[in-house]
Amino acid sequence: MMQQILDDIAEQMAIETKRGKVADYIPQLAHVDPSQFGIAVATPDGQVYAAGDASTLFSIQSISKVFTLTIGLNKLGSELWTHVGREPSGDPFNSITILEYEAGRPRNPLINAGAIAVVDAIMMGRQPKTVMTEILQFVRSVSDDDSIGFDHKVAASEMQHRDRNAALAHFMKSFGNLEHEVDEILDIYFHQCSVAMSCEQLARAGLFLVSNGINQATGVKVIKPQQSRRINSLMMMCGHYDGSGEFAYQVGLPGKSGVGGGILTIAPGKGSIAVWSPGLNPVGNSKLGTKALQLLVEKTGWSVFAN
Ligand code: GLN
């Protein structure tokens, strides 16, 4: 049943002609072939259903913000909220405007400024390499896959073109809201964004958010149930930046997008869904990925607003 649904969606996506625009502000991402599409669903019993280019690696980009948020909540608990807020921004992912009005405190952990603040909070005086290793170990552990790694070319490309993110970080630091050196924080942030994963791996990585913080397939308790619920609510409210309202309306599930064209979506109690298609809509979220998720929720009835 699920396999059939995914095969049908992949078939339909293959013939779409309007595929959006591949992100080119990170030159290393501009080379990705826009004709690709993958989808995978992992269920709590450990099954993974997949179709299309579901085993092809892509840059997870901002989807990584869900993982660093989880690390941050595990490490700091509610103290994390002294560094970053939890309101939707209604602004693009790399916007600086609200930062000035709100004294350099980012609105939420899923926009760039917020994710940079989370990295600063979890560094705790440690070297960038140590923190990068911690993030990678976390991603490998939740995915139950030690082959996952950074794409150093993507990280270097982002570091080279870091002006906008560096501006956000320096601006926050000028308000005293960042403790560490901006370039060290950004080095970690760009490495977390560069993590390369497939839809199959990413769907598995989301399983802990499907079952109240526990990955039922591996038995690993990743985070407290209360925090898992809150991460899902942040994904719903903020996971697609100024496209979050539209995503909630069209899909009705917590989701986090990345400019690599991936989206991780959680259907609590049911499954973790990863889609990938590199072409983006005007607000920077995967065009076909969103479309595929709309089809999936129509066919499965999965929603947090209905049963
Ligand atoms: N690394 C990207 C950036 O900082 C992440 C943005 C995204 O995926 N929306 O610009």
Residue 242 placed within a domain: yes
Question: Within this chain, do residues 233 and 113 fall inside the same structural domain, yes or no?
Answer: no
Supply the pLDDT for residue 195. 98
Among 151, 178, 195, which residue terminates a domain? 195
Supply the pLDDT for residue 5. 98
pLDDT digits (tens, 9 = 90+) for 97-146: 999 999 999 999 999 999 999 999 999 999 999 999 999 999 999 999 99
Question: Within this chain, do residues 67 and 169 fall inside the same structural domain, yes or no?
Answer: yes
Question: Within this chain, do residues 68 and 168 fall inside the same structural domain, yes or no?
Answer: yes
Supply the pLDDT for residue 273. 99
Supply the pLDDT for residue 96. 92
Residue 306 placed within a domain: no
Q: Does ligand 1 come within 6 angstroms of the Cβ of 165?
A: yes
Question: Within this chain, do residues 237 and 282 fall inside the same structural domain, yes or no?
Answer: yes
CA of 96 to the centre of ligand 1 (A): 14
Ligand 1 atom closest to the Cα of residue 241 is 9
Supply the pLDDT for residue 178. 98
Residue 307 placed within a domain: no
Q: Does ligand 1 come within 6 angstroms of the Cβ of 193?
A: yes
CA dist 39 and 50 (Å) reads 6
Average pLDDT, the chain: 97
Q: Assess whether pLDDT exceeds 90 at residue 193.
A: yes
Question: Within this chain, do residues 187 and 67 fall inside the same structural domain, yes or no?
Answer: yes
Is 241 noted as a catalytic residue in this protein?
Answer: yes
Question: Within this chain, do residues 80 and 180 fall inside the same structural domain, yes or no?
Answer: yes
CA of 64 to the centre of ligand 1 (A): 10
- The CATH number of residue 41's host domain is 3.40.710.10
| 251 confidence band (pLDDT: 50, 70, 90) | very high
| 75 confidence band (pLDDT: 50, 70, 90) | very high
Q: Assess whether pLDDT exceeds 90 at residue 200.
A: yes
Supply the pLDDT for residue 301. 97
Question: Within this chain, do residues 78 and 160 fall inside the same structural domain, yes or no?
Answer: yes
Question: Within this chain, do residues 70 and 54 fall inside the same structural domain, yes or no?
Answer: no
pLDDT digits (tens, 9 = 90+) for 136-162: 999 999 999 999 999 999 999 999 999
Q: Tell whether pTM > 0.95.
A: yes
Residue 305 placed within a domain: no
Supply the pLDDT for residue 187. 98
Supply the pLDDT for residue 161. 97
Residue from 22, 25, 62 whose mutation best tests the ligand 1 pocket (most atoms within 8 A of CB):
62
- Catalytic-labelled residue, pool 65, 173, 256, 291: 65
Residue 240 placed within a domain: yes
Residue 104 placed within a domain: yes
Supply the pLDDT for residue 125. 97
Ligand 1 atom closest to the Cα of residue 63 is 8
Q: Does ligand 1 come within 6 angstroms of the Cβ of 283?
A: no
Mean pLDDT over 255-266 rounds to 98
Residue 177 placed within a domain: yes
Residue from 29, 67, 112 whose mutation best tests the ligand 1 pocket (most atoms within 8 A of CB):
112
Among 195, 221, 252, which residue terminates a domain? 195
Question: Within this chain, do residues 91 and 168 fall inside the same structural domain, yes or no?
Answer: yes
Is 49 noted as a catalytic residue in this protein?
Answer: no
> Could you list the residue range(s) of the whole structural domain that residue 103 is in?
62-195
Question: Within this chain, do residues 25 and 72 fall inside the same structural domain, yes or no?
Answer: no
Supply the pLDDT for residue 307. 85
Is 299 noted as a catalytic residue in this protein?
Answer: no
User: How many structural domains are present in the chain?
Assistant: 2
Residue 128 placed within a domain: yes
Question: Within this chain, do residues 81 and 160 fall inside the same structural domain, yes or no?
Answer: yes
pLDDT digits (tens, 9 = 90+) for 211-240: 999 999 999 999 999 999 999 999 999 999
- Catalytic-labelled residue, pool 22, 32, 48, 62: 62
- Spell out the residues 6+ positions from residue 39 whose beta carbon is closer than 8 angstroms to its own: 6, 9, 10, 50, 51, 52, 54, 199, 273, 274, 275, 276, 292, 296
pLDDT digits (tens, 9 = 90+) for 269-294: 999 999 999 999 999 999 999 999 99
Question: Within this chain, do residues 191 and 202 fall inside the same structural domain, yes or no?
Answer: no
